[in-house]
């Protein structure tokens, strides 16, 4: 669980090392940054930036989240920016804008905000095409 990712383990998705856990009886104020994955079962008031973010059913984040992959099972009040994928589980509540190239919203999830589904690569290609047409 806290060791190095094992490539022979079928459950290892390459989402980075789970190195930070905010427990159900814990709270944190400020900006949390991690090069690995973070699991939130408690409460965070502030920004969150990591390789992967998992918010448990009892987890709550009041602030913006930025990560490669994000899985929400609890409550988020703030914007979520995922560069790879974003998943809202059945009991999740999200009040804010979503930005992800791949989005899965389970039945029963609550989402209030706007959503932009575009990858960073698509934006670069589109920008290069516009620049070439302007010449």
The tens digit of pLDDT for each residue in 3-46 reads 444 433 333 444 557 889 999 999 999 999 999 999 999 999 99
Predicted pLDDT of residue 11: 37
Question: Is residue 72 a part of any domain in this protein?
Answer: yes
Please count the other Cβ atoms lying within 10 Å of the Cβ belonging to residue 89: 18
CA distances from 106 to 13, 81, 89, 115 (A): 21, 18, 5, 15
Task: Give the pLDDT score at 12.
Answer: 40
As a whole number of angstroms, the distance between CA 111 and CA 130 comes to: 33
> Is residue 6 a part of any domain in this protein?
no
Give mean pLDDT, residues 116-123.
Answer: 72
The range of the structural domain enclosing residue 120 comes to 18-134
Residue 84 resides in a domain: yes
Question: Is residue 5 included in any domain, yes or no?
Answer: no
* Distance separating alpha carbons of residues 40 and 21, to the nearest angstrom: 6
SS3 39: strand
In a domain, 9, yes or no: no
Whole-prediction pTM? 0.78
pLDDT at 74 over 80: yes
Within a domain: 22: yes
Q: Is residue 10 part of a domain?
A: no
Cα gap 69→28, rounded to integer Å: 21
Domain count, the chain: 1
């Amino acid at each position: 669980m806290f060791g190095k990712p094992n490539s022979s383990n079928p459950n290892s998705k390459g989402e980075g090392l789970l190195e930070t856990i905010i427990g159900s009886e814990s709270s944190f104020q400020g900006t949390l940054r991690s090069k690995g994955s973070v699991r939130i079962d408690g409460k965070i008031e502030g920004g969150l930036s990591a390789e992967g973010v998992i918010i448990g059913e009892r987890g709550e984040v009041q602030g913006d989240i930025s990560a490669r992959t994000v899985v929400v099972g609890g409550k988020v009040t703030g914007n979520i920016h995922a560069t790879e994928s974003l998943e809202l589980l059945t009991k999740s509540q999200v009040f804010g804008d979503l930005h992800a190239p791949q989005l899965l919203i389970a039945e029963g999830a609550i989402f209030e905000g706007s959503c932009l589904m575009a990858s960073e690569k698509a934006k670069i290609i589109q920008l290069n095409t516009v620049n070439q047409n302007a010449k």
